[in-house]
A and B are shown apart, each in its own frame.
Chain A
């Protein structure tokens, strides 16, 4: 009996060494550990009592030895199988991936969001107003009466309805905002589409976005205009850019300024601005003796052109996917 056990151990170890797959291993394990050893140990009862302890002890030793050997061999085989699998599993990683359908915002929306976010973080709220305006709100209330020379500054789309025009700038929103909020202080930006009677070419559009800003309060100074516009320019274009303020003229601001930033080839115009004209304050419902304010306007499409070296402004509303998908 002892001899059978010793043989079984020796044979099994040899077989274990020879086999190469988990299936063979499982078969062997079940044959030996569940079958043959159990069978031998079960037959102990037929032995003389004095032999039984020795056989029982050896039987347990063999079982333990074999279990350990099986466990060890199983690890080896698993490792070998994995190695084989890995070896066979290589694919051509240079093949293109499965296409994913991705959506995109229009570049004009992207820039508008960027601009609006900067102003929002500086405490400005968004105010939206209409595209089709009356002549009064677009011009007269902004200190640009009929037949005034300043009207030449805007090429206007007129409609067949008397006194109804397409807004040439977002500035009429100033009047709407002031009349809604007076006498509260105001800090708003007014983004929106504006329209110009202008032949469309690579640098001119008849329809484009503008972002107007308006601040009104009891203590608003031109120094605030400068500081605020510099803060914006540094966030939008980078803190290292120099900013220049040039005297200019808009009928609805006094003094008026043109704001330039330093580009690679000289100064680039980024915004017009100024202190709100007393007549405009009054038309908005604020006493210009007590209140003051500043306003500014900028064109986000120009920002996008500049940033991405786009050579043709007409790309924006053509909606050619070959353009849109680059963003």
Chain B
């Protein structure tokens, strides 16, 4: 909403500066996006109150750019294309300005009866250079010079030269009666306050709406525009009929008739106001509908009455509002042929559709240069239905952009219709001439009851935490034009004014029972924002503390993150969007996938083709991140803890389990001047990280078993189990999957773990073992077993045979080859024995070892390597 201050002043006096006003309105909920200054400099304001302030092109100098009056236009003695304008600018004598302005040639000859008011530039004036390609960024300074033998030290200016518009075909002629010599700043200078209004401020999409807020925040008086009409024509009754068929969608329709108009450009001052407010002037009739809409907030539509009569074959036309008939369509003023939905409310006559109700007229009945009789419409429309229509048209790829639609879709009270109608028809009469038919047609079948709310002061205090004096409450509400009646010292009876559609709107059916609380809350917001949020004290909560609960999920996530960061991994967070095609890359072509399948949550309106569904797995984004960073990192150790979205039985909403993904790739140790060691990370690096995670989470009874998973290198993938629960899989990624992600041909290690399973397996309350006071005994054994025997199995046998006195088993060497027989391998273990209550003697150890060796022999056919 763009509000020229000069226009705003018609309805309210400004008792504070424009800048201070902008600040106060912003705090009161009308956010000022910026102030645009036309020809005048921004005012002073404390830095902490400043809003965005811009000067539109240039500031007009007060001494060198003044109001001048051309009293006579004389021919140039030596040039046909130039004339001499004799200008009174408040000096002792007329100043002679040489100009080629085409709109002055018509005045050459006798002195003018009515002098022309113009923008007059004197020597030294700074102007925009109208011939520069850089307009409006290039300026020039007016210097005296000779034009075809005539000394010239002044200039009459075009709009383009002072930056008002790009118009340069002639000089700007003003309608003003200010004295000659008045600085142009005081004639044309203006500030336009540009608001970014929230949807609840539908009432403020007009000069009056803003003026009302200004009155409330500054205490000034609000002036309403007059609605008296001079109607001397034949009564409207009988000249046009009216038939509302859907009063739910079209609660009110009013019509007025004006005969004998002259369609021509509207007056300069009106065009200027429209332009400053962001609308293009068209002709006087259309401009007045727009002007009154901007003024009152009520959109209007003007029909050419004679066309309607013609459509009715010379009979009395009838305006009908109705839903479309099958197959009907309409070409709107923007030249778009529109398909009509079954809920689209239309304005029609008996011959067919005239306009999209409340949104845009059709091209057939519009005002044109020859229009003589204007039938003016002001109506009320159901805003939800208008929104539905706008979004249906938008979804069809044919958005309708109209100021009327913008206002009606936010909500305009039907009571406004008559105000707008009377105001506009009278201005039309004054400007375009003609005679207004007596009376109006006004069909308003069910005017809504006024909303009356009793507001106890205790309720204000309950919500705001401050006792606002009842007189202040009254003053605030009255300044916003609420009706206020004092029932007693602590209760006001408040009548909501008709322009306020936002009070006690029970959007969701079924909440009528709390209508009074809703209305009170609405009123309390009005009181708070005008009283000032600053005036409300700052307190700490005094209410009872709720029952305290932990959040085990969050705690588990944070523990997992900490353990992994301690293990040297870097956390990533990726987009939760992907495509089925991207996820398909996780399975080599032709293999059945081992990843979750089923339906994806698919976006109806994706922003980009590569983000079309919600992911099923974290592995894809992990591989993509590894590929990205491979460009600048030779070593990566990453993890992501995030959600995936899987189909849920019996619900349209997906399951959203958390998964944990680990990714390793590249050098085992960072290279440095000390030399890189150890080569590339492999399966066992990932296993080490997984083991560290299990240890860090104190998960008991972890074991690992070979797994099959299409995403991984066959035989290099393991499943991690906690007791009998599967936690997830990890291993080296299948070379074809590596290749599909444009990763280099080196081992890429990934773990895909179930966060919920981890959470249930982890033991935050793990027991701590007592420290033994007795020495441990260490010894090494090496055993030879078949090559196929899993190391985990050997260790398990050793541990179970060793019993509780065997404290620890560490595998320190794996060897195949001479002298170990073909098909066998040697595994060497460091064993430590320790008792909690005594020093172990040699014979205890010997007994234990014998048991271990014989069990290994029995179960695995293992022999001790000597």
Question: A288 near B574 (CB under 8 angstroms)?
Answer: no
A248–B529 Cα distance when bound, in Å, is 9
Question: B48 near A223 (CB under 8 angstroms)?
Answer: no
Q: Is B464 close to A, CB under 8 A?
A: yes
Q: Give the residues in chain B near A215, CB-CB below 8 Å.
A: 541, 543
Question: A320 near B645 (CB under 8 angstroms)?
Answer: no
Task: Using known A-B contacts A130-B656, A149-B409, A282-B511, determine if residue A193 contacts B540 with beta carbons closer than 8 Å.
Answer: no
Q: Give the residues in chain B near A104, CB-CB below 8 Å.
A: 565, 570-571
Closest CB in chain B relative to A104 CB, distance in Å: 5
Closest CB in chain A relative to B319 CB, distance in Å: 26
Q: Is A48 close to B, CB under 8 A?
A: no
Q: Is A176 close to B, CB under 8 A?
A: no
Closest CB in chain B relative to A270 CB, distance in Å: 15
Closest CB in chain A relative to B324 CB, distance in Å: 19
Q: Give the residues in chain B near A309, CB-CB below 8 Å.
A: none
A48–B605 Cα distance when bound, in Å, is 122
Question: A184 near B511 (CB under 8 angstroms)?
Answer: no
Q: Is B388 close to A, CB under 8 A?
A: yes
Q: Is B110 close to A, CB under 8 A?
A: no
- The segment from A2-10, A38-46, A272-280 that touches chain B is A272-280
A322–B601 Cα distance when bound, in Å, is 33
Task: Using known A-B contacts A128-B551, A143-B507, A147-B388, determine if residue A249 contacts B571 with beta carbons closer than 8 Å.
Answer: no
Q: Is A202 close to B, CB under 8 A?
A: no
Pick from A103, A197, A266: contact of B637, CB below 8 A.
Answer: A103
Pick from B388, B462, B545, B653: contact of A187, CB below 8 A.
Answer: B545
Q: Is A123 close to B, CB under 8 A?
A: yes
Q: Give the residues in chain A near B446, CB-CB below 8 Å.
A: none
Q: Is A318 close to B, CB under 8 A?
A: yes
**Main SS at interface, chain A:** mixed
Q: Give the residues in chain A near B669, CB-CB below 8 Å.
A: 99, 101
Task: Using known A-B contacts A132-B653, A181-B546, determine if residue A223 contacts B573 with beta carbons closer than 8 Å.
Answer: no
Question: B572 near A324 (CB under 8 angstroms)?
Answer: yes
Question: A130 near B653 (CB under 8 angstroms)?
Answer: yes
Q: Is B221 close to A, CB under 8 A?
A: no
Question: B521 near A254 (CB under 8 angstroms)?
Answer: yes
Pick from A125, A134, A224, A316: contact of B548, CB below 8 A.
Answer: A125
Chain A residue nearest to B643 (CB atoms) is A131
Q: Give the residues in chain B near A101, CB-CB below 8 Å.
A: 568, 637, 669-670
Question: B565 near A103 (CB under 8 angstroms)?
Answer: yes
A156–B575 Cα distance when bound, in Å, is 17
Chain A, 100-117, CB within 8 A of any chain B CB: 101-106, 108-109, 113
Q: Is B112 close to A, CB under 8 A?
A: no
Q: Is B701 close to A, CB under 8 A?
A: no
A108–B641 Cα distance when bound, in Å, is 12
Question: B545 near A123 (CB under 8 angstroms)?
Answer: yes
Question: B529 near A255 (CB under 8 angstroms)?
Answer: yes
Chain B residue nearest to A193 (CB atoms) is B576
Q: Is B93 close to A, CB under 8 A?
A: no
Q: Give the residues in chain B near A207, CB-CB below 8 Å.
A: 575-577
Q: Is A89 close to B, CB under 8 A?
A: no
Closest CB in chain A relative to B532 CB, distance in Å: 9
Chain B: interface residue total (CB-CB under 8 A): 103
- The segment from B26-34, B100-108, B476-484 that touches chain A is B26-34
Q: Give the residues in chain A near B606, CB-CB below 8 Å.
A: 157
A159–B600 Cα distance when bound, in Å, is 10
Contact with A along B13-56 (1 / 0, CB 8 A): 00000000000001111010000000000000001101000000
Question: A162 near B652 (CB under 8 angstroms)?
Answer: yes
Chain B residue nearest to A103 (CB atoms) is B565
Chain B residue nearest to A99 (CB atoms) is B670
Task: Using known A-B contacts A222-B464, A256-B525, determine if residue A247 contacts B571 with beta carbons closer than 8 Å.
Answer: no
Contact with A along B663-676 (1 / 0, CB 8 A): 00000011011100
Chain B, 537-565, CB within 8 A of any chain A CB: 537-551, 553-554, 558, 561, 564-565
- The segment from B193-201, B239-247, B300-308, B356-364 that touches chain A is B193-201
Chain B, 491-545, CB within 8 A of any chain A CB: 506-508, 511, 514, 517-518, 521-522, 524-525, 528-529, 533-534, 536-545
A248–B201 Cα distance when bound, in Å, is 10
Chain A residue nearest to B547 (CB atoms) is A184
* In the complex, the 9 A-B pairs of residues with the closest C-beta atoms, listed nearest first: A223-B465, A221-B465, A247-B29, A103-B565, A249-B198, A99-B670, A217-B543, A101-B568, A255-B525
Residues in chain B within 8 A of chain A (CB atoms) = 26-29, 31, 47-48, 50, 198-202, 383-384, 387-388, 391, 409-411, 462-466, 506-508, 511, 514, 517-518, 521-522, 524-525, 528-529, 533-534, 536-551, 553-554, 558, 561, 564-577, 601-607, 611, 614, 625, 628-629, 632-633, 636-638, 643, 645, 652-654, 656, 669-670, 672-674
Interchain Cβ contacts under 8 Å between A and B, 5 examples = A98-B672, A104-B571, A105-B561, A222-B536, A254-B525
